[in-house]
C-alpha cells in the first residue's frame, strides 16, 4: 500500500510537512495545500515559500492547483516544472468551501462536467507533467460520479484520488463505499482512496472491503495520530491483530513530544507574534489531544491559554501526567 498525506489548507504547509517527515518517515507522497493561480501570476510569494525545494527536502511532494481555467493551470504546471522541478501536479476537485464552490472551483467544478471535459482536453494537449485529481463524488448526489468518471476515463490521469462524499456532505455522513467500489470497477486510471481512516480498525475494514486498492490518502487521521501510517505498516508487516500490543507507547509519547517541540519552535520563528502562534498550536491540538488519556481538562487549559508561558506549561503537564492511548 502507498500512503499519501492529504493537503489540508492552513495546516499542512511546509513547516508541518517537514516536521512530520523528520519524525514519522514512511509517507510515499505529501500533497501541498492548493495553489490558486490567476491572470497575474502562477504562484504567489506565500505559495512559493511552501513549494521551494529547500523546504521539501527528502519528500516526494505534489503541488495541488485550484482553478477552473485551463490556461491558469497550464501556466502554473509549467512554472512548477521549469522553476521548481516538479514532475506531478494535482487538480483540486474536492474542496467543499462555499467561497471556492461559488466560483465553480474545487467541488463546484464537478457541477459542470462538460466544462471539466474541455478543461482536461486542453490540459492534456499541452502539459508536460503528470496530472492527478483529488475529487469528490459530485455536488449533491453520489450518482453524479458516473458522468464525472466518464470524463476522467477519457484522459491518462496519473491517478484519481477519491473522497467518496458529495460536496453538500462536507465531512458529515459516512463515506460512500458503494460508489467508491463502482469507481474501482469503472475507472481506467489508478484509484486512490481518501476518507475517514482514523484507526487501525478503520484501515482493516477498508482493506477487507477493497483488497485490490493499493493507494490511500490520509488527512485528519494523521493530524490526530501522526504515527498512524507507521502503525499501519507495522500491522501489515507484523502479526495482524497483535500489532497494537507490540507498540511501545512510552517511546511513541517521546516522539510525539519531540514532534510538537519541533513544530512549536519552527512556527515561533515563522509567525509574526505569539497570538498567531497560539492560534496555530491550538488548531493542531484540537486533533492531537484525542491521543491522550483524560485529556479534557488539559484541552480546556490549552484553549484558554493567553500567552506562550501558559500554553507551554499546560502542554508539559499533559505529556508528564497522561499517557497515549491506542485509538
pLDDT-derived band at 245, boundaries 50, 70, 90: low
Q: Which residues pair with 170 in a beta bridge?
A: none
Q: Is the pLDDT of residue 247 over 80?
A: no
Helix extents (H) in the chain: 14-23, 45-51, 70-84, 98-101, 113-126, 144-152, 177-186, 200-209, 220-224, 228-237, 249-270, 274-288, 296-304, 308-321
Mean pLDDT of 197-204: 97
Q: Is the pLDDT of residue 132 over 60?
A: yes
302: nearest Cα among 289, 320, 321, 290: 289
**Which tens digits make up the pLDDT trace of 18-57?**
999 999 999 999 999 999 999 989 999 999 999 999 999 9
Instruction: Report whether pLDDT(206) > 70.
Output: yes
pLDDT band at 236 (very low <50, low <70, confident <90, very high): confident
Residue 192 has pLDDT above 90, yes or no: yes
CA angle, corner 148, sides to 143 and 154, nearest 5?
140
Say if residue 241's pLDDT is above 60. no
Mean pLDDT on 131-156 = 98
Nearest residue to 83 (alpha-carbon basis) of 52, 117, 44, 37:
52
Q: In this predicted structure, what is the pLDDT of residue 246?
A: 56
CB atoms within 10 A of CB 172: 7
CATH superfamily of 2-246: Aldolase class I (3.20.20.70)
* Per-residue confidence band for 81, with pLDDT thresholds at 50, 70 and 90: very high
Distance CA 22, CA 87 (A): 23
Asked if residue 242 has pLDDT above 60, the reply is no
The pLDDT of residue 73 is: 98
pLDDT of residue 326: 85
Over residues 265-281, mean pLDDT: 96
Share of the chain above pLDDT 70, in %: 98
Q: Where is average pLDDT lowest: 36-40, 135-139, 155-159?
A: 36-40
Which pLDDT value is given to residue 238?
A: 74
pLDDT of residue 280: 97
Domain boundaries along the sequence of the chain = 2-246, 249-321
Q: Mean per-residue pLDDT for 87-116?
A: 97
* Unique residue bearing C-alpha cell 491518462: 156
Q: What is the DSSP string of 55-94?
A: GSTTS-EE-EE--S-HHHHHHHHHHHHHHH---EEEEEE-
- Return the percentage of the chain with pLDDT > 90, whole number: 94
Global pTM reads 0.95
pLDDT of residue 237: 85
pLDDT at 244: 56
What's the confidence (pLDDT) of residue 89?
A: 98
Q: What is the mean pLDDT of residues 132-155?
A: 98
Contact criterion met (CB below 8 Å) for 47 and 65: no
Amino acid at each position: 500500500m502507498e500512503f499519501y498525506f492529504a493537503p489540508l489548507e492552513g495546516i499542512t504547509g511546509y513547516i508541518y510537512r517537514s516536521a512530520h517527515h523528520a519524525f514519522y518517515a514512511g509517507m510515499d507522497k505529501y500533497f501541498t495545500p492548493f495553489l490558486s493561480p490567476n491572470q497575474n501570476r502562477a504562484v504567489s510569494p506565500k505559495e512559493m515559500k511552501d513549494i521551494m525545494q529547500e523546504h521539501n527536502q527528502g519528500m516526494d511532494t505534489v503541488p495541488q492547483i485550484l482553478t477552473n481555467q485551463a490556461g491558469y493551470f497550464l501556466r502554473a504546471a509549467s512554472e512548477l516544472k521549469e522553476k521548481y522541478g516538479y514532475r506531478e501536479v494535482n487538480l483540486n476537485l474536492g474542496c467543499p468551501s462555499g467561497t471556492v464552490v461559488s466560483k465553480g472551483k474545487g467541488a463546484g467544478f464537478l457541477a459542470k462536467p462538460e466544462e471539466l471535459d474541455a478543461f482536461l482536453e486542453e490540459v492534456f494537449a499541452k502539459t508536460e507533467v503528470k496530472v492527478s485529481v483529488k475529487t469528490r463524488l459530485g455536488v449533491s448526489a453520489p450518482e453524479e460520479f458516473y458522468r464525472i468518471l466518464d470524463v476522467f476515463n477519457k484522459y491518462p490521469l496519473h491517478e484519481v484520488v477519491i473522497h467518496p462524499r458529495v460536496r453538500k456532505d462536507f465531512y458529515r455522513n459516512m463515506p460512500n463505499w458503494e460508489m467508491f467500489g463502482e469507481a474501482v470497477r469503472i475507472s481506467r486510471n489508478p484509484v486512490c482512496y481518501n476518507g475517514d481512516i482514523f484507526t487501525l480498525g478503520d484501515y482493516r475494514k477498508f482493506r477487507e472491503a477493497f483488497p485490490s486498492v493499493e493507494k490511500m490518502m490520509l488527512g485528519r487521521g494523521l493530524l490526530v495520530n501522526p504515527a498512524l501510517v507507521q502503525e499501519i505498516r507495522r500491522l501489515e508487516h507484523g502479526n495482524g491483530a497483535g500489532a497494537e500490543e507490540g507498540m511501545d507507547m512510552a517511546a511513541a509519547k517521546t516522539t510525539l513530544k519531540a514532534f510538537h517541540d519541533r513544530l512549536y519552535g519552527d512556527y515561533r520563528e515563522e509567525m509574526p507574534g505569539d497570538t498567531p502562534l497560539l492560534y496555530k498550536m491550538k488548531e493542531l491540538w484540537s486533533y492531537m489531544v484525542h491521543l491522550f488519556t483524560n485529556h479534557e481538562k488539559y484541552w480546556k487549559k490549552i484553549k484558554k491559554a493567553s500567552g506562550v508561558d501558559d500554553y507551554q506549561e499546560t502542554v508539559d503537564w499533559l505529556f508528564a501526567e497522561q499517557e497515549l492511548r491506542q485509538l
